[in-house]
Amino acid sequence: MIAKRPGPGAESFQGMPDGDAISVEIHGQRYPIRSALDQEYVARLASYVDEKMRAAAESTPTGDSLRLAVLAALNVADELFRCRDVTRARDGELAERAGELERLLDRVLTAS
């Protein structure tokens, strides 16, 4: 079964003391996570964060976990911002095309 990603406004980790607990490993540390989110989804998130932590560790050979976590968070934030930019650009293109189609349809209906 593939875990579904929650949609906008769905529950998150904050304010979710109730829910199932799952143990995840990130950068060699085990963390118990309690969340109402699907456990498979939480495990996928943790795996992604682990990948980012390991990538930060490879590029910055320091033993400071906090510094690595900050670098990993910055990389994830960069990905998020880039995805948002792409989404906004696509939304703008779609709105422009919809406007063109609406104008074309208006011309066809007016000519009839």
Q: How far apart are CA 23 and CA 46, in angstroms?
A: 10
In this predicted structure, what is the pLDDT of residue 1?
37
Please, what is the average pLDDT of the chain? Answer: 86
Closest listed residue to residue 31, CA positions, set 7, 53, 10, 3: 53
Residue 71: how many other CB atoms lie within 10 Å = 19
In this predicted structure, what is the pLDDT of residue 24?
97
Cβ 64 vs Cβ 42: under 8 Å: no
For the residues 82-111, what does the mean pLDDT come to?
93
pLDDT band at 6 (very low <50, low <70, confident <90, very high): low
For the chain, the maximum distance between any two Cα atoms, rounded to a whole number of angstroms, is: 74
Q: How far apart are CA 69 and CA 91, in angstroms?
A: 32
For the residues 61-74, what does the mean pLDDT come to?
89
pLDDT band at 2 (very low <50, low <70, confident <90, very high): very low
Q: How far apart are CA 62 and CA 51, in angstroms?
A: 16
Residue 26 has pLDDT above 90, yes or no: yes
Q: How far apart are CA 55 and CA 34, in angstroms?
A: 26
Question: Rg of the Cα trace of the chain?
Answer: 22
For the residues 26-45, what does the mean pLDDT come to?
95
* Reported pTM: 0.69
**Per-domain boundaries in the chain:** 20-111
In this predicted structure, what is the pLDDT of residue 62?
73
In this predicted structure, what is the pLDDT of residue 3?
47
Q: How far apart are CA 35 and CA 20, in angstroms?
A: 6
